Structure formats: C-alpha cells, structure tokens
Amino acid sequence: MNTFATYLIYIHATLGGIAFIAGFIAIITKKGGNYHKKSGIIFYYTMLFSALSALVIAVLPTHENPFLFTIGVFSSYFIITGYRALRFKKPNPSLLIDKIIASVMIITGIVMILYPIIITGRLNIILTIFGAVGIIMAIRDFMLFKNAKKLRKGWLKLHIGKMLGGYISAVTAFVVVNQFIPGIAGWLTPSVFGVAYMMFWFWKLNKKSSKKSVKI
C-alpha cells in the first residue's frame, strides 16, 4: 500500500506541476485563441486528475488526511464548474449535474468549517476561509440556475472566475508544499493576487459590455 501511495503522490505532484504551467499559459495568452484553448484543456484535465488523486491519497491507510480531502473537493469544484460554464452560452442547458456539484460543495464547505471545531475544539482559519468561499460560490450558482437569461449572459465571467479559482488552488498548493511563503501567508497570498487579477478581468468584461450597450 505504501508503494501504491508513493506512486500516486508522484503522479499527483507531476500532474499538479503540468497544470501549474498550462494554467499560466492559458492566463497570459489571448482568450479564445488556439493557445489559450489548448493550454486550457491541458490545465483542466491535469488539474482535475491531480485533485482527484489527492482525494484517493487522503483516504489511504496511514495517509488519512481530511484536510487534503476537503481541499481536493474544493479544487475539483472550481475546475469542473469552470469548464461546464462553457455550456451556459447555449440556451436551456441541463443543470442537474451542476446542481449536484454545487450541493456537494456546500456540504464540503460546511465540513471544512466544522470538522476542526469538532475534532480539536478550535476554528481553523484556512479551512474556514476556503470553506466559506466554496459555500458562497455554490449558493451563487443556485441563484444563477434560477435565471436562465442571466446564466447565459454571464457564462464567460463564470468560466474565467471558476477556472482562475482552480488555478489559485494549484498555485497555493505549489507555494505551500515547497514552503516558499511560511505560515498562513502562504495559503492566502496566491488568493489575494488571483482575486485581484480576476477583478481586473471582470472590469474589462463590464467595460466591453458597456461599450456595446452605448453603440446599440
């Protein structure tokens, strides 16, 4: 079992490294362009399988890690929903799977917040922050699912926001594992820069949308 776990950890780390590079290429290249699409697909699959392998590692004997398991679910949520957001530009997409994913994220977010309190009697700041973000995002998903017109109009923002959320997870894992930034700062710094970049893109999209409205 230890040998299997070791190989799985190597696979997890390798896929995570590829996702880190592919995600960066997708970010800096022209959105919708050939390089963006190809690197985005590579990022999606390598990051997804890296996150899923983390779920397996976290439940193996002598490797049990509820923290790693919940973070794996958190990362998977952003990657899958970010990719599925591409479907929302078409009218009347089926939302059953999306609702299931959002429900799982809400449950996982609650567990991320409550688990440390139940086990240790103390609040874990990192898990609480990430859990709360996951819950808020999933609730927002449900709200959008009720408005087909708004969902279709906002598909690009959802795609960019969720995929960037997945990339932030990859960068955070890279920074924390290699201890480039110590302590809580290592967990939160990638999110600060990632969210700032996300807001920049939302600003650009809003500005572009405003110009179209003026022309009309």
pTM for the whole structure: 0.84
Are 79 and 45 in contact, with CB atoms under 8 Å apart? no
pLDDT tens digits, one per residue of 164-185: 988 988 888 788 777 788 888 8
pLDDT tens digits, one per residue of 102-139: 999 999 899 889 988 998 899 888 888 888 988 999 99
Tokens of 173: 């894992």
pLDDT for position 214: 41
Closest CA to 17 of 173, 161, 183: 173
pLDDT tens digits, one per residue of 132-160: 988 999 999 999 999 888 888 889 889 99
- In Å, how far from its chain's centre is CA 31? 19
What is the C-alpha separation between 164 and 24, in angstroms, rounded? 10
The yes-or-no verdict on residue 197 having pLDDT over 50 is yes
